[in-house]
Chain A
Amino acid sequence: MPIEYEVRLIITYTYDRPAGGSRSLLRMLPRSLPGQQLIAGAVSCSPAPDSRRDSLDFFGNPLTELAHDAPLSEVSFRFEGRIRKDEAEGAFDFSTALDRLPAEIAQQHSLAPDSPHHFLSVSDRIPQAPEIAAFAQQVVGNGSSALDAVQSISRALHAEMGFDPSATDVTTTPVEAFRARRGVCQDFSHIMITALRALGIPAGYVSGFLRTNPPEGQARLEGADAMHAWVRAWCGAKVGWVQIDPTNDMMAGLDHIVVALGRDYADVAPFKGSMRASGDHTTRHEVDVVPL
């Protein structure tokens, strides 16, 4: 059964000592993808910007560039819209054996946004990390399939790591979070991506939403109060990309709404801004995801 959601996201920035001439880059509009349809919705900003440009970024994510000439003491960015999710297909494991994955990747002569090549080496937020690589090697046995490996890493991380919003912030590196064994969805996802790439499995970052209140009789998922993040992994030419949520150790499904896809957080941050301001700022995120 497909589900329709009403979604609202408001990000508000308050500046102590505002300065003029700020620019903002937003990735807040959910994508339409197989199994997910943006029915209606738009990104808006208050106060209204002096210039605006909407486009798609390299990975196909909707991108909004805004410029404000006047100093802003407070600005809020808002997405409101309706999204339909369709039932995912059953997941038989047709994925490639781990040791045959490199050969299959090499056969992908493509730099298209979905090409696995983008998701293998280091990227802005994903380093080479021997200790995470060692962890991954230990979790994944010889001869397993790619999907098997992905699920094992998710399970192991979920068991090993504590969900703790006070332990990390948006700039925490995967290695720091891994050492602390604590973090939030961003940390879980970055660690898992680091681990998968170390195994030679192309892995990327998904930003999105979880439904706020679970269906009756089910537990509320971690990460439902803010924007959520999970992982996509390429499991061979046949299966392609799968999405998995290590924070809740589950395959992403009807409850997961994709906003943007990228290599790591730096590619999909919902807001990036520049203001030539000294002084502090505060941020507030409000998220509501309600099934209709």
Chain B
Amino acid sequence: MGDADPVRSDAVAALLAAYRPQPGIADELLQPDGQLRPVWAPLIDLLAGQTPEQIARRFARGDQYLHDAGVYYRQYTGTVSTERDWPLSHVPVVISSDEWAGLTQGIVQRAELLERVMADLYGPGDLVSRGLLPAELVARNPEWLRPMVGIKPASGHFLHSMAFEIGRAPDGRWFVLGDRAQAPSGAGFAIENRMATARVFADHYPDANVERLAGFFRAFRDTLTAPRSGGWGHAAILTPGQQTDTYFEHAYLARYLGLMLLEGEDLKVQGDRLMVRTVNGPEPIGALWRRLDSRFADPLELFEGSALGTPGMVGALRNEAVMMVNALGSGVLEARALMAFLPRICRDLLGAPLALPNIATWWCGQPQAREYVMQNLPRMMIGRALTSQLPFETDSLTVIGGAGSDAVGDWLTRDGASFVGQEAVTLSTTPAMIDGKLAPRPMLVRVFAVRTDKGWTVMPGGYARIGRTEDPTALTMQNGGSVADVWVVGDTPVEQDSLRPAVSGPFVRGRGEMLPSRAADNLFWLGRNVERSEAHLRQMRAYHLRWAESDGRMTPILSHMQNFMSGTGIAAEPPISEALTGILESSLGCAGKVRDRFSQDGWMALRDLADTARDFSDRVQPGDDAARAMWVLLRKLAGFAGLADENMYHSAGWRFLTIGRALERADFVVRSLIEFVNPDAPPGSLDVALELGDSVLSHRQRYAMQTSPLTVLDLLALDPDNPRSILSQISAIRNQNALLPKALEHGQMSDVSRRILQLHTSLAVAKPAGMTPEQLHHIRGELLGISDDLTALYLS
């Protein structure tokens, strides 16, 4: 602290004037005697030297970063879930590296202990037969997966990735409130916390001796991608999909670590191996970082109702063919009641007491423990025995501090085995900026540990949860809590570090990644849906312009257009129909499923388009107003298309997106030619065809005032220089298809390549007069055939 600088120390005093931790609990910032902890001094000095406006600007920089990076989580209210901005608490929690080192030892011991417990529960079962763990507690745990008993993990270990919820007791010691073994989340968010917080303190962070996080991730990535016995395979993250609350993190980690992001249906078991379906054919999986709960992993041998899993997954594990992070069934370790027995199990298995104690827990399935809990209800939290929830994450079956003791006594007597009693605890507080002032808020640190070839490695900080109020039940994000970075600060400078390895040797261009078939399928349909919405908007604009010109009277051309539109389920009114918002939602849905391969800008552009359409829906009037609205939406759509063309790497995924768009556009042009370049069509039809094909200007330039069926057919079907012509679409399809992995096999063209080439050639040599309705119908059939062939070859 700046004792030598009285001005400075006055500023610090002013900053902390209103900071009053509650008596009887520990505080991270202040010692029990009210003095500032030395490890916080540089950060507090910095804040004290800033005006409130300066601090607000700093915090806004962090928020802007999170916004630009698209960090979100899903919040559930009832049955509705919405994407929410990441709730960063900008002031990090600061912990000294000496203290952290002690903590790390306790974490490593606990991870090792849980590995041993898991190996026993899925192996000999000695803990139960020797009376160290009640059989009933294991047998009734739905996360203890009987089909996994006896299956040895391919890597030799059950656990590779763990997280622990730890808090600080009033006496200053750390203790564990919960073990996370199923599929711990938060490590990816820790990186984002760090990125944002480093921007908030951009002038301070680089030299603040804060231990870096990248080394932790590099070590884990190297473990996942290391060669293993049993043959090489890809490393991937298995996600339940975009509806899960932490999908952002799965996509983020996949991108950050260069791993494939897969869902259950991407995988299949072939022979004894787990394979991923890619556009190159099936490819072996070597390591799977599972973010899907175990029970859902295999509908054949585990929960049969699961639509998220891969049939045969357990069989593949039985063959020790894949490193599973963590082994299926690891959720059994999360049961709160297990903590009642860990102290004794630790002494027995490791010959030492728990280095990091856990919250005192009593399982009420045992008469003595139940008796003790009933005697001491006022200082107990009662909750479900098998949940992984933390003590203060209350539900209808949780009571704190003996509230409603009669009911509790009744529960415990009737069904004690379903409940635990846990000692009511208070958490330490840490500063959060509330309305421009630092205020103490309860906090809980989540510590991540991964197994590397050098044993367990603990992430130095990164993730703390901060209560919204002083009440600890407000800690969870679902209850309005926020999240802060945790800085582990030492006395010596740290090395700059990032995930990028040091460059050595000659430059080698990065290898193209494998594209899972499902991702390709979603990109293909994204392309089709986006193009479909464009066609929709063009039809509506052309219609409402004419409707306005006729003052709302039905004319032959309007009725002809209505007829055409109804062929694809489009009604002229309301102008913004559910058909339109529906197709935009479908586009968004496809994009959401491949968010890991999609730029944030592209995503935002698409979302903006869908939001605007929804926004328009109840206020746009037929006629000019509608035409203007369509024009706005078309411009936004062009923005998305431009981003896709200009900014997306031309990977196989982009090729499917491009082919999808070209197929859909070609089909739309063909259909409009059939309908509007037709001797029976009413006057004005040729203009409609040009307008739908966005070629009014091109036509005027090439053909001046003479519009005839042949000029329209030539420009819209056959002109290679018109980017909207059918021929141009088929050229694009031909070019992109030629670059797909199976375009040529053993020197032979694939069926779809032949089909595309035939169609392309027939259009390239055709004359406008040859574009008869029969020929146009034939082209439609070929477009459909190309789509089916591509789907069969790559996408299913």
Contacts and interface: CB of A to CB of B under 8 A. Distances in A.
Interface stretch (A74-82, A115-123, A141-149, A174-182): A115-123
Given A109-B131, A272-B300, A274-B299, A67 B269 contact: yes
Contacts of A21: 268, 270
A110 interface: yes
B312 interface: yes
Chain B interface main SS type? loop
Contacts, number: 73
B135 A108 contact: yes
A23 B300 contact: yes
Contacts of B311: 23, 274
A124 B140 CA distance: 12
Interface string B151-184: 0000000000000000000000000000000000
A135 B134 CA distance: 30
Nearest to B145: A58
Given A23-B315, A124-B304, A111 B139 contact: yes
B138 A111 contact: yes
A65 interface: yes
A67 B139 contact: no
A115 B272 CA distance: 32
B47 interface: no
A188 to B, nearest CB: 22
A282 to B, nearest CB: 20
B3 interface: no
Interface in B271-314: 271-272, 299-301, 303-304, 311-312
A111 B140 contact: no
A274 B315 contact: no
Interface in B195-228: none
Interface in A21-57: 21, 23, 25, 50-51, 53, 55, 57
A206 B131 CA distance: 30
A111 B125 contact: yes
Contacts of A266: 304
B312 A272 contact: no
B129 A53 contact: no
A106 interface: yes
Given A111-B125, A111-B128, A274-B300, A65 B315 contact: yes
A57 B311 CA distance: 17
A111 B136 CA distance: 9
Contact of A120 (B129, B140, B299): B140
A69 interface: yes
A7 B271 CA distance: 31
Contacts of A117: 135-136, 138-140
A23 B312 contact: yes
B149 interface: yes
Contacts of A65: 312, 315
A112 B125 CA distance: 8
B135 A124 contact: no
A110 B318 contact: no
A85 B130 CA distance: 36
Residue among B134, B272, B315 with most chain A CB within 10 A: B315
Nearest to A263: B146
Nearest to B303: A124
B139 A120 contact: yes
B128 A110 contact: yes
Contact of A67 (B149, B303, B304, B312): B312
A121 B140 contact: yes
A48 to B, nearest CB: 15
A25 B315 CA distance: 10
Interface in A98-134: 105-106, 108-112, 115, 117-118, 120-121, 124
Contacts of A55: 318
A53 B128 CA distance: 31
Contacts of A106: 134, 136
Contact of A58 (B129, B149, B272, B299): B149
A69 B273 CA distance: 13
Given A53-B315, A117-B136, A69 B147 contact: no
Contact of B270 (A69, A120, A272): A69
Contacts of A273: 300
A111 B268 contact: no
Contact of B300 (A25, A50, A120): A25
A55 B139 CA distance: 22
A209 B131 CA distance: 39
B278 to A, nearest CB: 15
A269 to B, nearest CB: 9
A67 B125 contact: no
B128 A109 contact: yes
Interface in B84-129: 125, 128-129
Contacts of B303: 124
Contacts of A108: 135
A23 B299 CA distance: 11
B300 A51 contact: no
Contacts of A111: 125, 128-129, 135, 138-139
Contacts of A59: 146
A289 B127 CA distance: 44
A123 to B, nearest CB: 9
Interface string B238-252: 000000000000000
Contacts of A51: 271-272
A82 to B, nearest CB: 30
Contacts of B136: 105-106, 117, 120
B135 A109 contact: yes
Contacts of A124: 303-304
Contacts of A25: 300-301
From A25, A58, A111, name the one whose CB has the most chain B CB atoms within 10 angstroms.
A111
A23 B129 CA distance: 36
B397 to A, nearest CB: 14
Contacts of B129: 109-111
Contact of B139 (A50, A121, A272, A274): A121
A118 B139 contact: yes
A19 to B, nearest CB: 9
A59 B271 CA distance: 25
Nearest to B140: A121
Nearest to B298: A274
Interface in A239-269: 266
Contacts of B269: 23, 67
Nearest to A117: B139
Interface in A5-29: 21, 23, 25
Contacts of A50: 271
Contacts of B270: 21, 67, 69
Nearest to A50: B271
Contacts of B128: 109-111
Contacts of B138: 111, 117
B300 A115 contact: no
Interface in B430-471: none
Contact of A115 (B131, B135, B299, B304): B135
Nearest to B304: A266
26 contacts: A23-B315, A25-B301, A51-B271, A51-B272, A55-B318, A57-B147, A58-B150, A65-B312, A67-B270, A67-B271, A69-B270, A106-B134, A108-B135, A109-B128, A109-B129, A109-B135, A110-B135, A111-B128, A117-B140, A118-B139, A120-B140, A121-B139, A124-B304, A273-B300, A274-B299, A274-B311
Interface of A: 21, 23, 25, 50-51, 53, 55, 57-59, 65, 67, 69, 105-106, 108-112, 115, 117-118, 120-121, 124, 266, 272-274
Interface of B: 125, 128-131, 134-136, 138-140, 146-147, 149-150, 268-272, 299-301, 303-304, 311-312, 315, 318
Given A65-B312, A111-B125, A117-B138, 11 more contacts: A21-B268, A23-B269, A58-B150, A65-B315, A105-B136, A111-B129, A112-B125, A115-B135, A120-B140, A124-B304, A272-B300
Ranked nearest first, the 6 interchain pairs of A and B with the lowest CB-CB distance are A274-B311, A117-B139, A58-B146, A121-B140, A117-B135, A111-B125
